Structures are given as C-alpha cells and as structure tokens.
Amino acid sequence: MVDVLLGLQWGDEGKGKVVDFFAPRYQVIARFQGGPNAGHTLYVKGEKVVLHQIPSGIFHEEITNLIGNGVVLDPVTLKKECEKVAAFGVDVRKNLFIAERTNIIVPTHRALDKASELSKGAEKIGSTLKGIGPAYMDKTGRNALRVGDLLRSDFNTLYEKLRTKHLQMLGVYQFEEDIAAWEAEFFEAVAFLKTLNIVNGEYFINQQIKAGKKILAEGAQGSMLDVDFGTFPFVTSSNTISAGVCTGLGIAPQHIGEVIGVTKAYCTRVGGGPFPTELFDETGEELRKIGHEFGATTGRPRRCGWMDLVALHYACMINGVTQIVMTKSDVLDHFKLLQICKSYRVNGQETQQMPYQLSDTDISPVYENFEGWDKPIASCDSMDDLPEAFNKYLRYITDYLDIPITYISNGPGREQIIHEKTTATA
C-alpha cells in the first residue's frame, strides 16, 4: 500500500518534518515529483538539515529511499546532499535508490530558467532558478536526458546535442552566462551519480508493494503550485497533487491508501502570483517573524496571510485527502485576533469555489473572526491540554472541510506533534 503525504497550500507546509515523524511506520519513502526547488527541513540530533533532492526518510537507516521517475534531478545538488547526509553517518549506497527514468537537470537548464524569468520582467514567476521549468519542458518536449542515459557509452554526444540546442535558445533570449564552471562540477557529479544505486523504479516499487511493504510518497511544493490546478502560470512545472504519484513512481491508482494533506495553521507563499489572504500589514510581518518564514531553498522572505479555506477545500478535493496534519499551530499563540477566509467575493459575488484565474480577478476574502488563546499551544502535549479557543478554530476548519485533522504540529522538532482525531461535527 502506498500512502501519500503532500502539501495543501503553496509549499513549505512542513512536509519534511512530518515525513520524518511518520517515517518509522514505513519501509519505503519515495519522492515522485519536483526537484531541487524543494527545501524540506528536518532536525537530526538537534541539528537543522534541509533536503532538496533526497527523500526525508534518509536518516532512518532501515528505510529504503527512492527518487522516482517523476522527479527532475540535479546531479550537483544530489552530490552535495549525499555529502551532507554522510556527515550524519548515512551511507547512501545502502538506502538510496534512483529510478533510471528520472530526468536530469543540466547546467544550461539553469541558465534557461534565468533567461526565461528575466524575459518576463514584472510578470516573473519568482522561480527558484534551479532549472525546473526547462527540465520538465525537455521531458514533455522529448529531448531530455535521463539517469539511465548516464550509463550509455554515447552519453557525451547526447549531452552535446542538448547543450547546442540550449545555447541556441539562450541566443534567442540574448542571454549570456558562463556555464564552463557549472559544467565542470556537473560532470564530476555525474561520475558520482553513476556510483549510486540506479534501478528500474517501476519494477522496484511494485516489487515492494507485492512484498507487502508500506510505502510513503513524499510530495514536494504544494497543491496550489500544481501545473494544472494551481494558480497558473504562477506554479511549478510538475503535478504536485496525489494523481502525480501514479505517473511519478509507476504505480496503479488502486495501490494508493491514505492521502495525508499538510497545511499550516495560516498561509504562506514564496515567489510571485496571487495570494488572496496575504497580509501587507504588521500582522503579516509578525507571522513572518514569529514563524521564521524565510525560504529553505532561496532564503527569500515568505509572504504571509490568514488560513484560506476556499483554497484548502479545493486542494482537499483534487487530492482526495483523507486526513490533515496542521503545522505551525504554535505560531498563532502570539495573536489576539485570528481570521479564517471562508469565501471569496469575486467581482462583487460571494463564492466558495476557486475561480479559473486569480490573477486578473478582483477578489476579496470574506473572513470569520476568532479569538486568540491565552495558553501557548507550544506547551501542549496532548489534545486535552489544548485551549478551548484553539479547539474552536480547529473545529471550524474540520467542519468546513469535513475531513479530520489527525495531528497538530506545535514546533519544528520531530517529537513536537500532538495526535488528535478532530472529526467533523457536521
């Protein structure tokens, strides 16, 4: 059986921490999409670690970690990350496996990402500039190099062909970048990658399923950044939703079990694009400061705002979410008044549905107000400890979504999480 854990907002919901917490219940943890644009934070032996390419189960020795075919893989980032985890005693040759159909990010993809963003001017997406968009374009354009190609004797010829094409495209953008240094580290990283466990991912995972192993598919980014259903064009280039698990790993839908959605107790977004509940005032500043809302990959300040139930309900619908983990509840300890968006007023009309496009639409959130609580959530270690005002906040959300919130995370550490079954009362 394959359970899925993914982000329900615009990324950075705390997926890394929650996967690390759930890891002991699984034998396999697999990434199925995204690439080094992801930044998943976890704490190992009290030390903060941010993972970009490697699944968040890597610090559990007995767990098999798989980078699935739906991922775009930057060999340079992977090598650095392998060295990082090795410092914690992890032997990636024992518990990390890479699907041979995984597409590779080459240095010119990064240059193309930059060129594309520059050409968009004020309309730029706010990409992490890791080469994600161009790499997925080469996949769907049927030009990409894949991990399995690294083992071919003519790999260098294939690389040269792709490089020439990319340089022509960069010429059209009139964009110049000295990629020689990037190429040197790329080829060094490719040599390293070839020494790792490269497998046929689809047979690998299906054999694990057949053997009765419990598998967790770890999402990257968030549902509102999905290339089909997110706030297009301000999205990433992969299917971040549960449907992406099947194509991103090579498994059939009947093997999917629980779909665990992770949401913050409020909302953040990094990069450009619409964000209806964004706060531009002091409260937004406070959320950023108290929540340490700065990008794990790029260090950019995250935009902050109130919980948006229109977007969250939509995300739960398209993912088939069966349970929710709410993170960063402790950050709200510091506020006297909280708001939750229950509907949008779109061009004067109230709706609970996501409009086709948020960017060109006049949207204002309609809020429900909540009183803050006097006892810090951060100090609670069971449901019975939680203040009534927080329970009221929680109940409003579960009733609206009709999905249980089964865990409340109240701090960044692995053990800072409360198990709860706040079932909908509606």
Q: What is the DSSP string of 364-389?
A: EEEEEEEE--SS-GGG--SGGGS-HH
Asked if residue 222 binds Mg ion (CB under 5 A), the reply is: no
Single residue of 33, 69, 127, 327 touching ligand IMO by CB under 6 A: 127
Q: Out of ligand GDP, Mg ion, ligand IMO, none, which partner does residue 331 contact, by CB within 5 to 8 A per kind?
A: ligand GDP
**Binding map of Mg ion across residues 289-328, x = CB under 5 A, - = no contact:** -------x--------------------------------
Asked if residue 331 binds ligand GDP (CB under 6 A), the reply is: yes
Q: What is the DSSP string of 284-333?
A: HHHHHHHTT-B-TTT-PBPEEE-EEHHHHHHHHHHHT--EEEEE-GGGGG
Asked if residue 12 binds Mg ion (CB under 5 A), the reply is: yes
Spatial distance between the Cα atoms of 167 and 361, rounded to a whole number of angstroms:
38
Determine the 3-state secondary structure of 64 from DSSP. strand
Applying CB under 6 A, the span of 124-132, 143-151, 241-249, 350-358 interacting with ligand IMO comes to 124-132
Spatial distance between the Cα atoms of 156 and 378, rounded to a whole number of angstroms:
54
Under 8 Å between Cβ of 232 and 357: yes
Cβ-proximal residues to 69 (8 Å cutoff; 6+ apart), any chain: 99, 100, 101, 102, 103, 201, 202, 248, 249, 250
Q: Out of Mg ion, ligand GDP, ligand IMO, none, which partner does residue 14 contact, by CB within 5 to 8 A per kind?
A: ligand GDP
Determine the 3-state secondary structure of 180 from DSSP. helix
Query: Residue 293 corresponds to which tokens in the numbers above?
Result: 């809302």
Residues 29-88 that bind ligand GDP (CB under 6 A): 39-41
Asked if residue 221 binds ligand IMO (CB under 6 A), the reply is: yes
Find the catalytic residue in 3, 12, 74, 333: 12
C-beta nearest to ligand IMO: residue: 271
Shortest reach from residue 16's CB to ligand IMO, in Å: 8
Single residue of 5, 14, 63, 315 touching ligand GDP by CB under 6 A: 14
Single residue of 3, 12, 113, 308 touching ligand GDP by CB under 6 A: 12
Torsion of CA 160, 164, 169, 170, to 10 degrees: 90
109 is catalytic: no
Applying CB under 6 A, the span of 6-14, 156-164, 224-232, 316-324 interacting with ligand GDP comes to 6-14
Asked if residue 293 binds ligand IMO (CB under 6 A), the reply is: no
Asked if residue 412 binds ligand GDP (CB under 6 A), the reply is: yes
In the block, residue with structure tokens 């990433």:
236
Distances (CA, A) of 16 to 132, 204, 325: 20, 23, 12
Our CB check for ligand IMO shows the closer of 272 and 411 to be 272
C-beta nearest to ligand GDP: residue: 41
Find the catalytic residue in 40, 109, 166, 313: 40
Strand 337-346 versus strand 307-308 pairing type: parallel
Residues 16-75 that bind ligand IMO (CB under 6 A): 37-40
Spatial distance between the Cα atoms of 275 and 363, rounded to a whole number of angstroms:
10
Applying CB under 6 A, the span of 87-95, 143-151, 339-347, 405-413 interacting with ligand GDP comes to 405-413
Distances (CA, A) of 95 to 19, 61, 62: 16, 7, 7
Residue 114 CA to its chain's centroid (Å): 21
**Binding map of ligand GDP across residues 251-290, x = CB under 6 A, - = no contact:** ----------------------------------------
Single residue of 220, 309, 377, 401 touching ligand IMO by CB under 6 A: 220
Asked if residue 39 binds Mg ion (CB under 5 A), the reply is: yes
Spatial distance between the Cα atoms of 213 and 206, rounded to a whole number of angstroms:
10
Applying CB under 6 A, the span of 100-108, 171-179, 308-316, 409-417 interacting with ligand GDP comes to 409-417
Residues belonging to the active site: 12, 40
Interface with ligand IMO (CB under 6 A)? 7, 10-12, 37-40, 125-128, 130, 132-133, 220-222, 225, 236, 270-272, 296
